[in-house]
Amino acid sequence: MGKQLIKGNEAIVKSAILAGCRAFYGYPITPASEITEAAAKYMPPAGGVFLQAESETAAINMIYGAASAGVRAMTSSSGPGISLMQEGLSYLAGAELPCVVADIMRGGPGLGNIAPEQADYRQVVKGGGHGSYRTIVLAPDSAQEMADLTALAFELADKYRNPVFVLADGMIGQMMEPVEFLPQAVAPPRHDWAVEGTAETRKNLITSIFLEADELEAHVLKLEEKYRRCEREEVRSEEIRTGDAEVVLMGYGIVARLLKSVVEEMRAEGWPVGLLRPVTLYPFPVEAVKRLAGQASLFAVVEMSTGQMVDDVRLAVEGRRPVEFYGRSGGNVPSTEEIIRQVKGMCARHGVMAQEPELEVAHV
């Protein structure tokens, strides 16, 4: 397809189709509506199905049906719509059905507003539906990663037979950047567990109901083992200048983009800062946090919320190092200058000092 200048939301759909997605059921909501619009435009010509459902509740249950038939299927929404999907997500996880959900976060709680925020972290990463289940959660920080992580999401969904989220804030969804797509489309695999309406698959049963207590417990423990395997094999993160960092900055999505600039500017002034960016929010990069806690003096978490991911950082640090937090909400996006002021204040409180500024080397 070559490189295209494209919105992050639209990149999700094109990447999904190349990844073998052939069913999209959704209901438009700002700032995710371009995903539904692009799916309506591109899915039918690719031989797939697009349907605007009557509600988000209907959409997630349509996904259950398509996934049961072995079709790579996806939906998208934002805060209030994701809330309405939670029961269906629990059913999908309980029935071990693969699917992909894109959540383009907006301000909340309640109707909130349509500006970017990061306050869906808890309901997505921790699981807002009932029961002991997890969803795999990928957090892109660019339009390119909206494409790359969507393709990965379908692979992980099939590998673990589990719902996978692409969790991005409204700014990542709305911004336009150059994106390179997969060079050729993926042929999705057939599944021997799927119900295809054939004599061979008539024996298959897709369900999440286990009426006997011991039977349900065995199923829940099977799911738990799957999640433990995912935690061992699928953790992804990015580190920038952490080798000698006394202060480890942490953030995801658009905040991580800002923190990359913060690291660059503060390093130029001699501040020993680095960045650990979780790419998978579940599984969370616990071991990377623990390793850095062995050398760093301070962790500084920045979020566009009143603090949700910060709880996972504190759990991973296990009290060995102080964890400071700075957040904006309501759709406000912090500036790099604002974050730098806050981080310098944190450094002052914990005795972290600037060193000799790094000198730029002139190349002749």
Domains and CATH numbers, the chain: 3-233 (3.40.50.970), 238-349 (3.40.50.920)
Spatial contact of 115 and 82, defined as CB atoms under 8 Å apart = no
Please state whether the predicted TM-score (pTM) of the whole model is above 0.85: yes
**Where does the pLDDT of residue 1 fall: very low under 50, low under 70, confident under 90, or very high at 90 and above?**
low
Spatial contact of 85 and 127, defined as CB atoms under 8 Å apart = no
Spatial contact of 117 and 106, defined as CB atoms under 8 Å apart = yes
Distance between CA 243 and CA 145 in Å, rounded? Answer: 25
Q: What percent of the chain has pLDDT over 90?
A: 94
Q: What is the CA radius of gyration of the chain?
A: 21
**Does the pLDDT value for residue 19 go beyond 70?**
yes
Q: Give tens-digit pLDDT for 322-333.
A: 999 999 999 999
Specify burial of residue 196 (Cβ count, 10 A radius: 0-12, 13-18, 19+): middle
Tell me the mean pLDDT in the region 194-211. 93
Specify burial of residue 203 (Cβ count, 10 A radius: 0-12, 13-18, 19+): exposed
Tell me the mean pLDDT in the region 173-182. 95
Spatial contact of 21 and 49, defined as CB atoms under 8 Å apart = no
